[in-house]
Amino acid sequence: MDDPVVQTCSLRKCFGGKLALDDLSLSIPSGHIHALIGANGAGKSTLFRILLGFLSPSAGEAFVLGRNSSALTSAERAAVGYVNEEHTLPEWMRVEDIKRMRCSEYRAWNERAYSEVIGHYRISAQQKVRELSRGERAGFNLALALAQSPRLLILDEPTLGLDVVAKRAFLESLMYSHTVEQCTIIYCSHQMEEIERIADRLIILERGQLMIDGAPEDFCARVRHWISDIPFQGPDPAAIPGLLQRQKLDGLHHYFVLDQDDSFSEFLRASGARTIRAMPVSLDRAVNAYLARTHAAPDVLRAQA
């Protein structure tokens, strides 16, 4: 088996009295698209900054391509592509000048990969960066990153702020680039429709800790939506097994629960339910319910993950 492309061992990062990463041990194997999600403050950006060598951990270690992230060589850094939500580029430079500069920086420059991606956008080589739309900047940044021939590509909210058309163009240019097959991708996004479309693996961080790590469809299968007609307020939330989230809509009680089989209907019936119905959930609904759960101790849920 290949060595992990990314590995963290008991990784911790503190900012004053705030713990951003808490004993995080994570292993990302070579290949595929790994979706990294979590609420704001979960530690995603801190993790990326450590992996890229911009931050040093307070404790523990992080390895990228088999080397400690704080000691990456120039050649190893060149094998890591990065696209963030700001799509920061020199405003005054022309597209062709930036491309020429990047060509000289990366020995493994892949012109085919660049052309494949840039072809999804109507970008002139003579245009200056300030003349590009946000969607065009995103596409240009992706083309530059993939042309590096990266072994690891980190995409941090790359479609944030893009309209529907621009998001589709970005995802298609990513999915249909032959270079993607040769690298490992960590894709961070709050857009679950994107994750559902492209991700092979789902990683959920919460308060700097690893909570979920597995296939998106496996996580969805663990979350179920139960709808019941129960008089009055229904059961005490503290007594509901596996509760993630509860709502009352149009007189019906809605429960989103984790790791509960059909026997959950017996609990509802014992709580006075007159009607009971179980519904599958989308990845978007499952993740939102998990991140917004109103009951169940984090230690218990981590043990179930």
Mean pLDDT by 10 residues, the chain (305 residues): 87 93 95 93 94 95 95 92 89 95 92 92 93 94 94 94 92 87 92 91 95 95 95 89 92 94 95 93 94 56 43
Which residues are bridge partners to 224 per DSSP? 257
Distance CA 120, CA 175 (A): 12
Residue 248 contacts by C-beta under 8 Å, 6 or more apart in sequence? 234, 254
> Do the bridges between strand 33-37 and strand 201-206 make them parallel or antiparallel, or are there none, so unpaired?
parallel
CATH code given to domain 6-214:
3.40.50.300
Q: Could you tell me what percentage of the chain is helix, strand and coil, using 3-state DSSP and rounding each to the nearest 5?
A: 35, 30, 35
Q: What is the pTM of this model?
A: 0.89
Q: Which part of the chain has CATH 3.30.70?
A: 218-304
CATH topology of domain 218-304: Alpha-Beta Plaits (3.30.70)
Q: Which part of the chain has CATH 3.40.50.300?
A: 6-214
CB distance 138 to 170 below 8 Å: yes
For 6, 40, 205, the CA distances from 16, given in Å and listed in that order, are 26, 18, 21
